[in-house]
């Protein structure tokens, strides 16, 4: 298995598989296999990942502002199902323009 140093570094530093997929553009299944490979070969120390995913961050910001998923979806011009999938961790955002629209509505940045 060929695992890039970037992916290995992000795995070791506690990034979620979903966030690594978003950052690198790699398939999440490949990242899961890379994590398993690292664990099986003693290359990964266990950690507790308390870092919220992008979807969890969107949901927390949305709820803090008292905006429903429907309203955010409409205001940001992002399909409701897409937003729901992000918030539930079923998909990761890949369209930077959609993320920018959501950030604008939630009055934050995409950093």
pLDDT(1) > 70: no
Note the pLDDT of residue 92: 86
Closest to 84 measured CA to CA, from 75, 94, 73 = 73
d(CA 111, CA 2): 29
Q: Mean pLDDT, to the nearest integer, of 32-53?
A: 77
Could you report how far apart the first and last alpha carbons of the chain are, in Å? Answer: 31
pLDDT(76) > 90: yes
pLDDT(2) > 70: no
Note the pLDDT of residue 47: 55
For CA atoms 88, 29, 2, 94, give the dihedral sign: negative
Note the pLDDT of residue 80: 96
C-alpha count within 13 angstroms, C-beta hemisphere, residue 60? 8
Least confident piece of the model among 17-26, 46-55, 98-107: 46-55
Q: Which residue has the higher pLDDT, 93 or 49?
A: 93
């Amino acid at each position: 298995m060929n695992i890039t140093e970037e992916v290995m570094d992000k795995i070791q530093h506690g990034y979620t598989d979903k966030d690594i997929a978003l950052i690198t553009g790699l398939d999440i299944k490949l990242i899961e296999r890379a994590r398993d490979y690292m664990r099986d070969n003693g290359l990964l120390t266990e950690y507790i990942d308390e870092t919220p995913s992008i979807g969890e961050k969107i949901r927390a910001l949305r709820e803090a502002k008292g905006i429903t998923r429907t309203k955010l979806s409409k205001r940001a011009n992002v399909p409701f199902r897409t937003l729901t999938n992000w918030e539930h961790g079923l998909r990761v955002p890949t369209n930077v323009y959609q993320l920018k629209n959501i950030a604008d509505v939630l009055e934050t940045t995409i950093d």
